[in-house]
Amino acid sequence: MLKSLLCGCWILVILVSAVLPQIIPTPGERNRYTAYTRHGEVVQYISELAHQSTALRVQEIGATHAVDGYPAKSLLLCILTQEGVTRPDQLDRSKPTLLITASQHGSEQSAKEAALIILRDLAIGDLRPLLARMNILMIPQANPWGNQHDRRVNELGSDMNRDHIKIETKGVQAIHRVFRAWMPEVTLDVHERGDNYYRVAMGCVSNANIDASIQSFSRGTTLAEVEKALARDKITFQEYTVTSENMPSDASGADFSDEELARWPQITRYSTSDLNDSRNSLGIYQTYSFIQEGASRHDLQTLADRTWYQSRAMRAFLQSVAAHGAEMRTQVRTLRQKLLDQAATYAPDHLVHLKMAYRPDPAQPELRMLAFQKRDTAVAGVLKVDKKAGEKVLESELEPIPPAQRNVVTRIEKNWYPLVVPTRSVARPLGYVIPASHQDIIATLRMHGVQIMMFVRDCRMKVEGYLTEKVIPSKYDYVAPDTLTTTAQMLDILCKKGDFYISCSQPAALLLPCLLEPESDYGLIRYWKYQIVPEAGEYFCFYRNVSEQNLPLVPYCDWPK
C-alpha cells in the first residue's frame, strides 16, 4: 500500500510540475550577484520567460549604435498583459497602462537587475494577478553598452537622461516611440544615485505645465503608500531631493566650468523641472510619471542588497498603482482630453510656461533629513590585506565602510526650495510655421511623435512674429541665451510650398511651445546643433498662428515607422 501511495505522490508531482511554471532565476540570482548581467544574458533570460508565460510578449524596438569593439545590440520591449496582446489597439483600455524603463544610466546596475526580477514575478510569479488590473510595458535595459562597461553614458558618450528633447540616442528614441504608440497613463524610470541613508528615493513630476492634481496625488497617495510598504521591510525612503546650484539650466546636461557653477548659490529641492529627462518629458503629456533612485556605492559587494531594495520599491509601486489604477486612468484621460479641447481654439488665458524658478515655501522653511555623519578624518576604507608602513595601498585592497558602522545624524537644510514657480508664460498659439530649411527641427519633432503638416502651394498667411530686440548667446551648448528679449508683432508672410505647419491641437500641445518658443528655457533654441539663436533686429525663424485660417496643407510623412 505504501508503494502505491508513493507512486501516486510521484504522479501528482509530475502532473503539478507539468502545469506550474518553473521559477527561473535571473542572471544575477544565478551567479549570486558576483558579476553584472550582460546583454546576452538578458536576451536569454527574457527568451526563457516568454516561452513559459502566456502573459509576456517581447518585441525588438530598435538597436544601439555599432561602435568599435561593441556591435549593435537589440533593445527589447516586454509587454505584460492578462490577454497576451502585441499591439496598442489590442489593449484593454479599461485598465491603466504603466511603462517601466531601467538602466538609462549604464553604471546604475541595480535598476536593470531589479527590473528583471519584477519582470519574472509579473510573467510567471506572484505578481501576475496584478495584470487583471493593469497593463505593463517594460524596457529592462535601455543602455546595453553602458551596462557592459559599467559607465553612465551610452556607446556615443551621451547621457541618455539628458537627451529627452533632442532625442539623438537610440535608447531614448525607443522609449519615446513606445510611449507615443501605447500612451501609458503611468511611467516609472529606475535609477541609482550615490550612497545615502535613504536606500530608496522616489520623485514625481515637477514641471509647472503638468496639472497640479497629478503631483498632489503622486505625493499624497503613491509615494506615501510606497514609503509605508518599504517601512515594513525596514527600507528607508524619502521623496527624491537633490542639492545643486540654483541656476536655470541646473540639469540641462551642459558642461559648465567650475567658475560658472561657483557663481550660483546651492539649494536643496525636488528633482529638476527640465523636460530633457524621462520623467518630465513623458509627464508633459499629463502622465503620472515617476523616477526611482536607489542608494548605491556602485560596487559588486553591495549589488545583491541594492537589487533587493530596488525590487521591493518597484513591487510596492506596482501594488499602489494597481490599487488606484481606475482613478489614475480616469484622471489622465480627462486631463488629456481637456488639453486637446483647449488647444483647438486660441485663447489668451491658455498659457504654457516657458521659464520656471525654484522657490522656498513659507509653510515649510526648512527640511529635516537623516544622513550618514561625515567623518572629520579622511577615512578611505577598511584595509582587506596586511600591509607594512610605506607600502602602496591599492583601491581594490580597500573595503568601503559599510553603512551599519556609520552614525546617523539629523541634517537641517535651510536653503530648501520645494516650489516651482512659472516666471515666463505665453498663450499657446493654434500652431507654428517652420520654414522648409529647418529639416533638423522637423526630424526632432518627428522623434517626439509630433504630427506635421506641409504647405502644398505658396500662400499668404497672417502670423505673429517675434522681433529680437536684444540677445546675448550662452557660452554653453544645452543652455538658452543669457539674454533674449523680443516683441511680438502681427505680420503678413509668404508661406512657400514645402514649408511646415505644426498644429498645437494634438497630444503634444504643451510640449510644442516649450520646444519652439524663443524665450523658453526648455526650447530647441538652447542647442547649438540647430543654430536658431537670432541676431538683434531679426525675426525669430518660427511664426505663431493665432487665428483660424484656411491653409493648403497635407500631412507630412504620415505613415507608420
451 and 386, same structural domain? no
159 and 17, same structural domain? yes
pLDDT band for position 379 (cuts 50, 70, 90): low
pLDDT digits over 261-271, tens only? 999 999 999 98
123 and 10, same structural domain? yes
Is pLDDT larger for residue 16 or for residue 206? 206
pLDDT digits over 423-446, tens only? 999 999 999 999 999 999 999 999
**pLDDT, average across residues 113-142:** 98
310 and 433, same structural domain? no
Cβ proximity of 414 and 433 under 8 Å: no
Task: Phi first, then psi: give them for residue 355, nearest 5 degrees.
Answer: -130, 145
pLDDT band for position 6 (cuts 50, 70, 90): very low
CA separation, residue 130 to residues 23, 122, 497 (Å): 18, 8, 52
Q: Let me know if residue 258 belongs to a domain.
A: no
Cα 502 vs. chain centroid, distance in angstroms? 25
**pLDDT, average across residues 475-499:** 97
pLDDT band for position 374 (cuts 50, 70, 90): confident
Q: Let me know if residue 394 belongs to a domain.
A: yes
**pLDDT, average across residues 88-92:** 97
pLDDT computed for residue 249 by the predictor? 84
137 and 63, same structural domain? yes
Spatial separation of the C-alpha atoms in residues 274 and 249, rounded to whole Å: 8
Terminal alpha carbon distance of the chain: 67
453 and 493, same structural domain? yes
pLDDT computed for residue 9 by the predictor? 39
Question: pTM of the predicted model, to two decimals?
Answer: 0.92
Q: Please calculate the CA angle 55-57-60 and round it to the nearest 5 degrees.
A: 165
496 and 396, same structural domain? no
Q: Positive or negative, the Cα torsion across 80, 148, 168, 530?
A: positive
pLDDT computed for residue 155 by the predictor? 97
382 and 324, same structural domain? no
Which residue type, as a one-letter code, is found at position 77?
A: L
Partners of 489 in the beta sheet? 465
pLDDT computed for residue 560 by the predictor? 82
- What is the 3-state secondary structure of 432-485? EEECCCCHHHHHHHHHCCCCCEEECCCEEEEEEEEEEEEEECCCCCCCCCCEEE
pLDDT band for position 392 (cuts 50, 70, 90): low
pLDDT computed for residue 13 by the predictor? 35
Spatial separation of the C-alpha atoms in residues 458 and 366, rounded to whole Å: 59
144 and 61, same structural domain? yes
pLDDT band for position 14 (cuts 50, 70, 90): very low
| pLDDT reading at 7 higher than 90 | no
Q: What is the mean pLDDT of the chain?
A: 93
The range of the structural domain enclosing residue 383 comes to 367-413
pLDDT band for position 91 (cuts 50, 70, 90): very high
pLDDT computed for residue 373 by the predictor? 87
Helix/strand number for the chain, H first, E second = 13, 23
